[in-house]
Chains A and B, each alone.
Chain A
């Protein structure tokens, strides 16, 4: 406990579902979820495998705290080799699906091979089978979830599925569960669809036990109190969601705008958390309807929105008049600031489509931002876009292109390749705001220096939730550091990256760490699980996981040369705001980072480091 100690192995080629025991030696070393599933993936696939071939595998993994009363116990991850990047891919999601999977008795599902035709995986506790999904192929995640619940006459069933985008090879398709929670990045959904797997649905009624129930409840209750007493987790996030950051990050001059040509967006307040709560002049209602928690979460940052029914996007489409997942900060930034669009309702509509068709809004928005720049430079023509004017700041361009990308039609097919391939196609690779093929999110490394080092070194490509130094550099959590300097950032980035790997692997949400440190988390894991879980053992596991992911990438063909940033961030200084005149000082931080990591000067973990971590 609190692992179920069981893995479901599904061979899609053979159509078999078999149960096997969890490798407990690995569980003690890699905790669960992200760490443990990555260990399985690395042991079972060739790192050079084509991500979309049947030889790649896809793992749905819960952590030891998933489904327990620990706050934010909703989390599960989807782990595979990513088609957008060719690097390790691990995308984390909330909602209710993960806890249901664990309650059905499974720590993880390993999916291998490829089905002959469309199938979905149906799990009811220890019974698992592959069923015909041909009626679902070519339909959205929303339709898929409804169809499965109706077909099995079970409204309590939890569903994770892919949309049309994934089926048509959009390289950054997500896996969407519970209608609007997503394992969003790196194209994990594209891998799922490449296996002809439309959905995984699960009903679990077995429940989850912990090693020492009394000690666990004490630790969980104490930790929940810490969240309830912290201003970010008890007021900021429930009230404004992650969108609380929009105005803050714009003000510090770190909001990448118009494909990172600028670091401040004059339309930021129009697409902010505050705007979502404002009464609209058109219909007298607010964009934000409610905040919704994921399973077990005492923070409840999730946004639920309704689009203005008079807005051009949905005025004739009653099927979008209901409430659904609203804008989170990264999505609002990508769909808005990165494209220069400040129409909140258009952004919300684009976000609905991203959920409905399972598209990563970060990569989509960033790719559209790059396409808009290419269009304005005359490199993309009206003929190619089917007559759609891709001007920077055009809401119509945004909402038309998100529809086309979701359906993988017209110019949407090109956008579906992501910004790296798009910019290469037009001979301007430097205009892709990506690292290792993954577009960086809503923090500009010129205004927040540490996050640039994290983007450059993040194992899944540029990503904020691998080492969120913004917490320290902007919010002062756990300690304030100066965002404009590079000094001390190597150690800071390493500390955030290692701790994050441990938090993810435990099966809880990274957002707890606005209030929690591992001092709050380790006692919960320790009371829930066999083994010895302290701050030290968890940190060590986190560092081990980080190095293991790095080794996978090196074996997949990446080198230290890929630990870089787009030229724009290294050469073009910020034009406005506190960071005016600054570029990213990555060259100053990277050598020190390799050193604190115990890696060679070209970024390879030394034998000593691997030995120390038991790798």
Chain B
């Protein structure tokens, strides 16, 4: 079974525990600018929106990489960057339609979400369940159920 991050922005409070967890998992320190998941805060509307790579099948980043530094794991579907191979040309950052693969000037390589090898730290630390790690085929299931619950099932008047 492939698993995916399911993001329900409506539950997010903007606490950034996910960013802290991500940077700690990958860098060993707390540094939100190095997080591969980012929470955007739209103050005037009080909206907090977590955003990260969805591990898309098309994987434009992988397709354009000239040195084959990005690979796909056939079982999990995760696209990861092999830092040793990456030459820092940034073509993948241009190709990705969502902006979720980014260059790190410190290392000279690109970085993206790799689902932490199967136990994403962001989902683990999110206190509100705005981020969960679930069966990729059922990512919309909770929302579907939510809407289903609102369906009017009272007998309709004859038209």
Contacts and interface: CB of A to CB of B under 8 A. Distances in A.
Nearest to A206: B31
B16 interface: yes
Contact of A69 (B14, B21, B45, B47): B21
B127 A291 contact: no
A290 B42 CA distance: 12
Contacts of B125: 69, 221, 224
Interface stretch (A29-37, A292-300, A447-455, A532-540): A292-300
Contacts of A205: 31, 33
B29 A179 contact: no
A217 B44 contact: no
Interface string B1-45: 000000000000111110011011001111111100000000111
Interface in A264-323: 289-298, 300, 304, 322-323
Nearest to A303: B46
B43 A69 contact: no
A298 B14 CA distance: 10
Contacts of A210: 29-30
A209 B28 contact: yes
B127 A208 contact: no
A323 B45 contact: yes
B48 interface: yes
A213 interface: yes
Given A206-B31, A207-B30, A213-B28, A69 B13 contact: no
Contacts of B31: 103, 205-208
B13 A291 contact: yes
B127 to A, nearest CB: 4
Contacts of B28: 209, 213
Contact of B29 (A208, A291, A322): A208
Interface in A225-242: 228, 238
A296 B45 contact: no
A79 B3 CA distance: 49
Contact of B15 (A103, A179, A297, A322): A297
B24 A292 contact: no
A238 B14 CA distance: 13
B127 A322 contact: no
A67 B13 CA distance: 17
A452 B32 CA distance: 42
Contact of A213 (B16, B17, B24, B48): B24
Interface residues of B, number: 26
Nearest to B43: A179
Given A179-B43, A209-B28, A213-B24, A295 B33 contact: no
A68 interface: yes
B29 A209 contact: yes
B13 A293 contact: yes
Contacts of A224: 125, 127
Contact of B20 (A206, A296, A322): A296
B124 to A, nearest CB: 9
Interface in B57-71: none
Interface string A209-220: 110010001000
Interface in B106-157: 125, 127-128
A298 B46 contact: no
A464 to B, nearest CB: 24
A228 B127 contact: yes
A322 B43 CA distance: 9
Contacts of B13: 238, 290-293, 297, 300
B129 to A, nearest CB: 11
Interface in A5-56: none
A293 B24 contact: no
Nearest to B105: A205
Contacts of A323: 43-46
A552 to B, nearest CB: 33
A303 B30 CA distance: 26
Given A205-B33, A298-B127, A322 B17 contact: no
A225 B33 CA distance: 26
Given A207-B30, A295-B16, A298-B15, A69 B24 contact: yes
B132 to A, nearest CB: 15
A291 B12 CA distance: 9
Contacts of B127: 71, 224, 228, 298, 300
B20 A69 contact: yes
B135 to A, nearest CB: 24
Interface in A96-137: 96, 99, 103
A569 to B, nearest CB: 38
A290 B34 CA distance: 27
A83 B127 CA distance: 40
Contacts of B16: 96, 293, 295-296
A208 to B, nearest CB: 5
Contacts of A228: 127
A69 B29 CA distance: 10
Contacts of B32: 99, 103
A324 B43 CA distance: 7
A289 B46 contact: yes
Nearest to B33: A205
A323 B32 CA distance: 25
A159 to B, nearest CB: 12
* Residue from A228, A238, A298 with most neighbouring chain B CB atoms (10 Å): A298
Nearest to A288: B46
Contacts of A291: 13
B14 to A, nearest CB: 5
A572 B49 CA distance: 52
Given A293-B13, A296-B17, A300-B15, A207 B29 contact: yes
A103 B33 CA distance: 10
Given A205-B31, A208-B30, A322 B44 contact: yes
A209 B17 CA distance: 15
Nearest to B106: A205
A238 B24 CA distance: 26
Interface of B: 13-17, 20-21, 23-24, 27-34, 43-48, 125, 127-128
9 A-B pairs closest in CB distance = A207-B31, A293-B15, A298-B127, A300-B13, A322-B44, A293-B13, A304-B46, A323-B46, A207-B29
23 contacts: A69-B20, A69-B21, A69-B30, A103-B31, A205-B31, A205-B33, A207-B31, A208-B30, A209-B30, A210-B30, A224-B127, A289-B46, A290-B13, A292-B46, A293-B16, A296-B15, A296-B17, A297-B13, A298-B15, A300-B15, A323-B45, A323-B46, A324-B44
Interface of A: 67-69, 71, 96, 99, 103, 156, 179, 205-210, 213, 217, 221, 224, 228, 238, 289-298, 300, 304, 322-324
Given A103-B33, A291-B13, 20 more contacts: A67-B30, A71-B127, A99-B32, A207-B27, A207-B33, A210-B29, A210-B30, A221-B125, A290-B46, A292-B13, A293-B13, A293-B15, A296-B16, A296-B17, A298-B17, A300-B127, A300-B128, A304-B46, A323-B45, A324-B44
